[in-house]
Amino acid sequence: MGFALWVDTTNGVAWAQGTQEYRVMGSAAVAVTDQFRLVDFRSTRRCPPDLAKSFAGFYGSLEEVNARLRERSPWKLRTTPFLATS
């Protein structure tokens, strides 16, 4: 499993999209002060396309994503390197 993370700093929302064996397992959104759980992910939910320049990185597990959210350090956001939001 792997996870891509986007952070909407304006609205304080973190979006994650999970993949399993290169297949999209769905997306989830939580407050940047919250934590993701597997039950949050829905296969019919997609990250908003306007977050294309809010990509925070790839993570190998949901635990890594949540650890990054707990850090509370400034985000170094960049353009999404692939079209996962479409």
- Quote the pLDDT of residue 46: 86
Mean pLDDT by 10 residues, the chain (86 residues): 93 92 85 94 89 94 96 92 57
Tallying the residues shown for the chain, one arrives at 86
The number of helices, as runs of H, and strands, as runs of E, in the chain is 1, 4
- Quote the pLDDT of residue 84: 47
- Quote the pLDDT of residue 82: 66
- Quote the pLDDT of residue 19: 81
Domain boundaries, the chain: 2-71
**DSSP H helices in 8-77:** 62-71
